[in-house]
Chains A and B, each alone.
Chain A
Amino acid sequence: MSAREPLIVQREVKPLDFLAAGETASEFKELLKSLGIPTDICRRASIVTYEAEMNTVIHGGGGVMSLRLEDDAIIIVAEDQGPGIADLEKAMQEGYSTAPDFVREMGFGAGMGLPNIKKYSDKLEIDTRVGEGTTLRAYISLKGQREE
């Protein structure tokens, strides 16, 4: 589905595996660093990875995270075969969340996931179908720094 650009690394995400999310984020960060990518971009990629993976963990029922490289951008792809996002516009709003209570009690599901991904990436594509799943592609440009 998204095998267009060269793959840097791919990781399987298990449902409700909250501990693994931080690990993937730091793994992606270290990989990007080893490619000589500026630390600011590495950190943004790591935040996007973390938030996207948490979404896959909480809502998507697990899936696949991959890190890809385009000519002038890195792409973080999160794919799942979960329930899909019914109202994407609402989901993009800060504080809107459909996370179940037990997830919120763990301190997650604050409704900042997608807004944060949007904030830290340069381009965001979400392809979602209710009942079929969601594919999120977040692009971070390698050209030039930017202010947050």
Chain B
Amino acid sequence: MSHGIKINKEACKGCVNCIKTCPTEAMRVIDGKVRIMEERCIGCGECLRSCRHRALSLKENDWDFLSSKRSLAVVVDPALCFQFPWRPYPDVLSQVLRNMGFDPIFKDAALAFDLTALAEARLLDGNSDKRGPMISTYCPAVVRLIQMKFQELIKNLSPVENPLEICIDLWRAKHVKHNVPAALVAPCPARVAMVEDPVGRDASSADYVISVTRMAREILTNSRSVEHLEDSARGSNSRWVRWASLGGETAHIKEFAEKPVRSLTVSGMRNVIDLFQELELGRLKGIDFIEARACNFGCIGGIANVESRFIAHQKLKMLASSAPTDEEKLLLDELYETGIWKLQEEIMPVEQAPLGMDLAKAMEKLEELHSVYAELPHLDCGTCGRPTCRVMAEDIVKGSGSIEDCIFRVRERIAELSEEIHVLSKKLIHTMTPEGENEDKRDM
């Protein structure tokens, strides 16, 4: 699985800050540089937050390469709207992008997010309590976390496609621009991974990725003033940009749902993991919909944003958005019938390789793991390049690592060796006189 993270090997000092923050234990330091285990990474971006050497960044396409393209469609994560000193109306940003020579997909984005919310609302209206709550698939890191750690919750994932994909499909179909490449502006590694290696569909509709950081910088250097554009608050609807913040999706769904939606919103890796644990234990009852986001505050908390999440959150409150009109609803109904909102493929679990081929072998390995673990200092210092002593024991029994990777064990070995050397050095040779006895005494 792609993870959307670029490692700058020159900048990486091999410190172990990042590997210790990884919620899925997907990172190791090997030969002094960090390495990400693709099959375990969910793209949440926690490691980017903890890197002080700027060795980790989003794996985006080269700006000069993209801006030299004759035409490029741009679809933005709603979080981009909140990065600028002006008000967060999407129409303003759309005009700015057009002035820069891009083909902004904004009207279709508004439509796609409406459609996703409508589809989710209809699913919720028809949902029975027995199935448990429906979990949003908007955050790709959350989807991957469930595939990897909470496989029993896969059946709860909403079978609705990501609106950022739908809007490109809609745009291409409408404008017959199948040859125009599209770039997604992403606020986190998970959105990059969504383009490189999507879940629930064969290939992403987007061809390239630009980070919010880069796009925001280019916009700010290109368009200092947008005052002449600012009066467009009442342009096309801005319901969709609310998805940038935690709770936006739920609010949008509630506008379309016939029945009341008992919802729960949660953000931040730690909270999301705790919630899913309780959900698997069957402790949470009476909830219809869960909006879970890997980043605090939702996508405005993504690591690649430039504006502070607190200010972005304030800006979001300024946003006046109107309810969908009857005309819009009619159009959405038509689109709903086409089924374009459905996930194309079933979401499958991502199984980790068990310790052994069969249960007996795995039990043997587990016993070995326990005895290796007992030998370790349980300090979880990370000096061996692994996040915890337990992970180290696991790596050793899986054949990648040795007990001498542990600095404390090496220290003990050195102490033992030096003790042995000391004892050896005291061993008497026949021609030597034992200490404490001198010749004078012997003469007497």
Contacts and interface: CB of A to CB of B under 8 A. Distances in A.
B281 A34 contact: no
A22 B278 contact: yes
B354 to A, nearest CB: 3
Contact of B362 (A9, A34, A43): A34
A88 interface: no
A36 B281 contact: no
Interface string A37-49: 1011011001100
Interface residues of B, number: 20
B129 to A, nearest CB: 14
Contact of A8 (B358, B366, B394): B366
Interface string B321-357: 0000000000000000000000000000100101110
A39 B354 contact: no
B363 interface: yes
Contacts of A6: 363
B50 interface: no
A9 B277 CA distance: 20
A35 B366 contact: yes
Q: Is the interface of B mostly helix, strand, loop or mixed?
A: helix
A36 B278 contact: no
Contact of B352 (A25, A29, A34): A34
Nearest to A72: B359
A35 B363 contact: yes
B280 interface: yes
Of the four ranges (under 10, 10 to 19, 20 to 34, 35 or more), the interface on chain A belongs to 20 to 34
Interface string A14-53: 0000000010011001010111110110110011001000
Contacts of A40: 152
Contacts of B354: 33-36
A69 interface: yes
B151 interface: yes
Contacts of B274: 22
B281 A50 contact: yes
A37 B366 CA distance: 13
Q: Is the interface of A mostly helix, strand, loop or mixed?
A: helix
Contacts of A29: 280
Max count, chain B CB within 10 A of own CB: residue among A22, A35, A37, A116: A35
B282 interface: yes
A109 B335 CA distance: 49
Contact of A35 (B281, B282, B362, B394): B362
Contacts of B362: 34-36
Contacts of B152: 39-40, 42-43
A39 B366 CA distance: 18
Contact of B355 (A36, A43, A50): A36
Nearest to A71: B359
A35 B358 CA distance: 8
B366 A31 contact: yes
A36 B356 contact: yes
Contacts of B394: 34
Interface of B: 151-152, 274, 277-278, 280-282, 349, 352, 354-356, 358-359, 362-363, 366, 370, 394
25 contacts: A6-B363, A8-B363, A8-B366, A22-B277, A22-B281, A25-B277, A25-B281, A29-B280, A33-B354, A34-B354, A34-B366, A35-B355, A35-B359, A35-B362, A35-B363, A36-B355, A36-B356, A36-B359, A39-B151, A39-B152, A40-B152, A43-B280, A46-B280, A46-B281, A50-B281
Closest 8 pairs (CB-CB, A-B): A36-B354, A39-B151, A35-B362, A43-B152, A50-B281, A34-B355, A36-B362, A26-B277
